[in-house]
Structure 1
């Protein structure tokens, strides 16, 4: 997946424009959960680690992040893994290295690994057509359907628009994984096949189904048996539904109405699990990073090595399939992070920093965002899990950790990301002012309000219902309980829906189009704020009235 809402929109901006840096210092003793352990590699000394701890505390304060967990690995060892802050606001329990967070779109690398492991098994090739494994699979274009390969599912180059189809499962819907995938035939393609990068989640759900078809196991069973058990990732859960009583879990927090930080409920995402949903700790994610940095080896060496996947498969996962344009940051303090190249492989972002190849991904979930970053040439990995929707926080912490591990001098990432957050918020404020300036507040709807009520149907999502509620017109997405909101008039035949769940930060304009006889021909929606997460892809809906029986 990803960061959500105010700062998920910001995360997308910052990670797209400023891939992660990497510098650091090196010395002997290191900390594992506050204990000291010798390592073969040169590592940061105690003083540098203390400065890093102080930096994380300042990031938490600047961006109002209640809980953070960080793990750093180098040369197969754990340099440090620890928590900062509290698991839940207002309660004393502290975050530690074993606290579970939603890793969201960092799940995608597990999906890519699963498919590549099945190639090692001889059960598929990532160059196979998807229809060779799922004969019922359809995109909206017959050529794309026929030519879509398994690895295309993992590379964000299908021709779908940014976040296309996300409303089929985000927020949580009642559709099954198969139903979501089957509705792809009606999701429009807005770009050419393999023409350009546009991030999606929905095709990772299809990838999950390919894993199940080829392996004969559920996706959860495959991950548990083939990845988590071998790595000893006993603290990792397939989904929030699998959290156990007594689990050490962080509570996510969101800015309600973009301003009031409060806890958010737990989200379940079983219908596109290949795109996101896993919960894990930095303790477990350190094991995952070390296996990645070792080329798939997790125990032994040489001929006796135990592997998740072959070196060839990893090379393919880390080979660029989809180039992404490099855009220098408009924030001078972040300009140093501008890469020489940027692209996407199979479930991984690929870029560089100061001559170091970087393999990384971010994740966004309601109330929780994260980042995992690898420097394969240095055998260094950093994972940052957080309990607030502030991508600037995990980026600043990641960059500071990489600085530390590469021995580079300090850089004020905190100031740079604080400026970026302020700029994004200022742009959003300006956008709303422009809407207000353009509004004709004295205008009236063309029709009596009761005429706007009814069922409206989109080819890929399904039904959206407008009805008379206790306080006036209200809107309900038929498959998404959380998308229930109250409608108010804006101007002419445009209204605003304000969702009752104020943590969504996804209020939208509703514009009705009438035919010459004054009958409603179509309803279109667009998010009001540029900070609304792209997964609320209201703009892709083509809602038409359903005739009453």
Structure 2
């Protein structure tokens, strides 16, 4: 979340990655047939193989769909190496009849990151790299904006969110989709500002997974897509999974993402291919395939069936898994926004190699979330219980996947108590929404509508250049100012005066939920010196990192 996307949604609303963990208003949606293993009966009661707390699981998931306005959800549960349940609920797309089943493909977004970590660990086992190699040992041209960080950045650091980059730094290089190549994205890192100390703390990023993508390609001699398909999908048996949207074909069983335009009205959003940072979030998968992935993870990397030598076949070694599941970056534990969420507060919280690490009810959790345009997801493993649950959704509601996940965890960890997490998260969502409304009200109160721009509107037109993103063009069209990000087709919008030399930018694509302020500073002669941007709403996904842009006007000759 990242809006939503990216890339991790955490325990509580307000900690969402790529956008608010929350999206919101309840609206009724009809219950639809589901395909499952094992199947539900006509009364929507779960089979007897499920714990007693999950006997009404179908009705519970549908209540989450209705409350959080999610058209479709898919869930798989594995226990002790077996698939206890894999099932779809609801619709692939609103207004159409196709239903979600266990084999429906969803964008899993940042749950891709664990595949990237596994690929690097495999290459380390093959002797093609070491996890503590410097990145420049494999990509000599690699540069961060700080020479020390450039020199000391190790491959393991790429997976741990401890580089010193700020939250979501550089995401606008590929989010929404841009025309940059992966190599160009990484080359631009030399100009992305480092705002924190190297290895001094946690700040979620996606851009270093573009670096990891290139390391995998350099060490293996294969494209990222070919490597993951050959060395991860095929051994695990993930026959339905795809690297990105470009591999989708008409007629496939695939969910359509949905977003709340203007944070209000649910609409389908077009599928997105993340071609220039695939290692951060590109994979499409079903819960049927991800159940296999979870079982391999819970088996310490062991694959089903014997290997060629009669010994158990392995995807990666137990030592590699121990490294992936060892905490590299501690994360500050925050107070929950409402008291009902207090039971979810962990005793420890941190990040390993592409996995979050925490605890719940005295059990270690290994988990990750993902956010994408119109889709969010969560995979959660309880290693000591050999338990795993994956929840995929086609709406941007982290509240929905959390409510479903914790109902499953409670069934195995706390069977004597049946918490209605849907009601709890609904309360938390409403509180987050009210705070967002208060934030805009504060801006409105401070606004002086009588303060007009210092210059004629046409004088704000021109090409502005940021050191790491590139060019942003403002043009005067029919008496209005239009803003375009030169490498991002979706970022086109209209400027409206706010006060003084500040304007609002309202994007044409209303499902972005990323309207921004843009403020111009003038020199003593009344010429524009610089423009700065920031999101208007606190619910905007952090991957719209407008605040890191430093836009300076350039002469026409320079722009050409």
Same fold (TM over 0.5): yes
Partner Cα separation in structure 1 for residue 236 and residue 8 of structure 2: 33
Question: How many angstroms does 1:331 deviate by?
Answer: 1.1
Shift of residue 54, structure 1, vs aligned partner? 1.2
Contact persistence 2:371–2:377 (CA under 8 A):
yes
Residue aligning to 1:533: 541
**1:322 is matched with which residue?**
329
Aligned mates of 1:329, 1:44 — CA distance in 2: 34
Deviation of residue 398 (structure 1)? Answer: 0.3
Q: What is the deviation of 1:301? A: 5.9
Match of 1:402 among 396, 405, 409: 409
- Tell me by how many angstroms 1:328 deviates: 2.6
The 8 Å contact of residues 115 and 211 in structure 1, kept in 2 or not, is answered as yes
How much does 1:277 deviate?
1.3
Structure 2 CA distance for aligned equivalents of residues 237 and 43 of structure 1 = 33
> Which residue matches 2:296?
291
1:107–1:43 Cα change, 3 Å = farther
Q: CA deviation digits over 1:236-270, x for unaligned, max 9?
A: 01001111222100111000000000101111111
**Judging changes above 3 Å, is the alpha-carbon distance between structure 1 residues 113 and 471 closer, same or farther for their aligned structure 2 residues?**
farther
2:390 aligned residue: 383
Contact 1:3 1:12 in 2 (8 A): no
CA RMSD, Structure 1 to Structure 2 (Å): 1.9
Which of 239, 255, 258 in structure 2 is aligned with 1:234? 239
- 1:12/1:503 CA distance change after superposition, 3 Å: farther
In the alignment, what sits opposite 1:446?
A: 454
- How big is the shift at 1:3? 6.6
In structure 1, C-alpha distance between the alignment counterparts of 2:502 and 2:298, rounded to whole Å:
53
Counterpart-to-counterpart distance in 2, 1:476 and 1:12: 36
Partners of 1:486 and 1:522 in 2: how far apart? 19
Aligned partner of 1:4 in structure 2 is: 4
Give the TM-score, by structure 1 length: 0.94
Alignment of 1:398-477 (within 5 A): 398-408=405-415, 409-470=417-478, 472-477=480-485
CA distance in 1, matches of 2:159, 2:535: 27
| Structure 1 gap segments, 5+ residues each | 19-30, 37-41
User: Which of 350, 363, 373 is matched with 2:380 structurally?
Assistant: 373
Tell me by how many angstroms 1:47 deviates.
Answer: 5.2
Residues 45 and 478 from structure 1, CA distance in 2 versus in 1: closer, same or farther, beyond 3 angstroms? closer
Q: Partners in 2 of 1:9 and 1:346 — Cα distance?
A: 14
Alpha-carbon spacing, 1:3–1:230, altered in 2? closer, same or farther (3 Å) = farther
Q: State the alpha-carbon separation in 1 of the partners of residues 298 and 133 from structure 2.
A: 27
Query: Aligned partners of 1:508 and 1:74: how far apart in 2?
Result: 46
Contact 1:33–1:97 (CA under 8 A) maintained in structure 2: no
Distance (whole Å) between structure 2 residues aligned to residue 11 and residue 465 of structure 1:
36
Match of 2:146 among 116, 141, 161: 141
The answer to whether the 8 A contact 2:174-2:274 is kept is yes
Equivalent residue for 1:331? Answer: 338
Distance (whole Å) between structure 1 residues aligned to residue 303 and residue 363 of structure 2: 24
Q: Deviations over 1:426-458 (max 9, x none)?
A: 000000100100000011111111110000000
Confirm or deny: 8 A CA contact 1:3 1:391 kept in the other structure. no
CA distance in 2, matches of 1:497, 1:384: 35
1:258 match: secondary structure: coil
Choose the corresponding residue for 1:64, options 45, 59, 69: 69
**1:9–1:429: structure 2 CA closer, same or farther, 3 Å change rule?**
farther
Residue pair 2:8, 2:16 contacting (<8 A) in 1 also: no
Give yes or no for contact 2:272–2:373 (8 Å, CA) kept in 1: yes
Deviation at 1:8, TM superposition (A): 8.2
Q: 1:214 aligns with which of 205, 209, 219?
A: 219
Equivalent in 479, 488, 492 of residue 480 of structure 1: 488
Secondary structure of the residue aligned to 2:526 is: coil
| Partner Cα separation in structure 2 for residue 236 and residue 15 of structure 1 | 31
2-side partners of 1:471 and 1:164: how far apart? Answer: 34
Matches of 1:199 and 1:471, distance apart in 2 = 41
1:305 to 271, 290, 312: 312
The answer on 1:125 being equivalent to 2:130 is yes
Count of matched residue pairs? 531
Task: Give the alignment of 1:224-263 within 5 angstroms.
Answer: 224-263=229-268
Q: Work out whether residues 127 and 149 of structure 1, in 8 Å CA contact, stay in contact via their aligned partners in 2.
A: yes
Q: Is the 8 A contact 2:8 2:369 kept in 1?
A: no
Task: Spell out, residue by residue over 1:55-94, the C-alpha distance to the aligned partner (whole angstroms, 9 max, x if none).
Answer: 1011011000000000000111000000000111111111
Residues 211-247 of structure 1, C-alpha deviations (whole Å, 9 max, x = no match):
0000010000110100101111111010011112221
Greater shift after overlay, 291-300 or 310-319? 291-300
Contact 1:10/1:531, CA 8 A, preserved across alignment: no
Give the corresponding residue for 2:178. 173
After TM superposition, the structure 1 stretch with the greater mean CA deviation from structure 2, 407-416 or 345-354, is: 407-416
Q: Structure 2-normalised TM-score? A: 0.92
Deviations 1:149-194 (A, max 9, x none): 0000000000000000000000000000000000000000000000
* 2:33 aligned partner: none
C-alpha change, 1:534 and 1:251, in structure 2 (3 Å) is same
Distance 2:197 2:447 in 1: 36
CA distance in 2, matches of 1:206, 1:361: 20
Q: Is the CA contact (8 Å cut-off) linking 1:100 and 1:250 kept in structure 2?
A: yes
